[in-house]
Amino acid sequence: MSAPVVNDDGLAAAVGRVAVLMGGRSAERAVSLRSGQAVLAALQRAGVDAWGIDWQDDLMADLAVRRPDRVFIALHGRGGEDGQVQGALEIAGMPYTGSGVLGCALSMDKIRSKWIWRSLGLPTPDFIVLDEADPVDDARIIGEIGLPLVVKPSREGSSIGVSKVEQAAELGPAIELARRHDAQILIERWITGGEYTLSIVDGIALPMIKLETPRQFYDYEAKYSSDSTRYLCPCGLPAAAEQSAAALGLRAFAALGARGWGRVDFMFDASGQPWLIELNSVPGMTDHSLVPMAAAQHGWSFEHLVLRILQSSFGART
């Protein structure tokens, strides 16, 4: 599918000097470095005056020295994807890519995302929240959620600390693993069916991708290392079903106050019902990442994609 394309040469000149933020201190540092380097190389190929900043020390001091015209955020995980960096850039008056403070904070927190979606009647799997001090009652959890289920830290990405639980004996170790990463954890009903993802860039829903892996689920290795993961785009859904899911994804995106770009993940059950799983406000941009694949199917080069994401940072922020 082709799409209207902005004039890349004109846009490259218009964006001015761009700092690409990558690295950071989260558990997703390694992935962020790969995303950031890919974005930086694409911007430079497009003729943009861009440079990378590997955030390890005083980020704002680094930015103050070179004072970019705008910032491309390629940080994943806490600190860079949860509203903290976005708030600092707001105070400094530096335009940046992606969602603002509220959208990033809500998107990063899987539990609060689901509370909002559920309050609006949007479909998301049943779940239980465990706080740090809550006792673990295996029988109650399994009785309420059923098996299989999935255990997740509330505020991690890239499936870090996530476990699929198929037998009662696996629940305790899964909770222990998740609690290493977050004091608040999510225990969610597992949806048996196909896994799909919707990329959104500058208000445009890109073609959906179906993910297939021989592993238990689409975990960290399947996302970033495995050559056995299959990415189907076109995704194979009937056109009407894909359009309906895209509309749901756009509603879920807007409900969390997201803007600019992001990726909504779904599970489809055996009846074809889509269930919202999570929203990524700064998706990966590596050679295994999903947004570039969807953009390519839409007719955009990687260079055009990063320029289009930058274009979405031009407006006033809230």
Is 304 among the domain residues? no
**pLDDT at 56 exceeding the cut of 70:** yes
* Identity of the residue numbered 182: D
Coil/strand/helix, residue 171: helix
Buried-state track 126-140, b at ≥16 Cβ within 10 A, e below 16: ebbbbeeeeeeeeee
Is 286 among the domain residues? yes
Active site residue 7: no
Residues 65 and 182 in one domain: no
Give the whole-angstrom CA distance, residue 58 versus residue 82.
18
Active site residue 280: yes
Catalytic residue among 278, 281, 303, 313: 278
- Residue 239 gets which letter from DSSP? H
Catalytic residue among 107, 161, 224, 281: 224
> What's the CATH code of the domain at 230?
3.30.470.20
Residues 252 and 287 in one domain: yes
**pLDDT at 269 exceeding the cut of 60:** yes
Is 1 among the domain residues? no
pLDDT top residue among 249 and 289: 249
Active site residue 81: no
Give the whole-angstrom CA distance, residue 242 versus residue 298.
14
Catalytic residue among 113, 280, 281, 289: 280
Q: Tell me the pLDDT band of 64, cut-offs 50, 70 and 90.
A: confident
Active site residue 263: yes
Q: Tell me the pLDDT band of 213, cut-offs 50, 70 and 90.
A: confident
Segment holding 264, helix H or strand E: strand 261-269
**pLDDT at 3 exceeding the cut of 50:** no
Give the pLDDT score at 2: 34
Give the pLDDT score at 107: 95
Range among 52-56, 125-129, 134-138 rated most confident: 125-129
Active site residue 265: yes
Mean pLDDT of 191-195: 94
Per the structure, the complete domain to which residue 138 belongs is given by: 127-189
Give the pLDDT score at 214: 66
The pTM assigned to this predicted structure is 0.89
Token pair belonging to 184: 């608040």
Residues 29 and 73 in one domain: yes
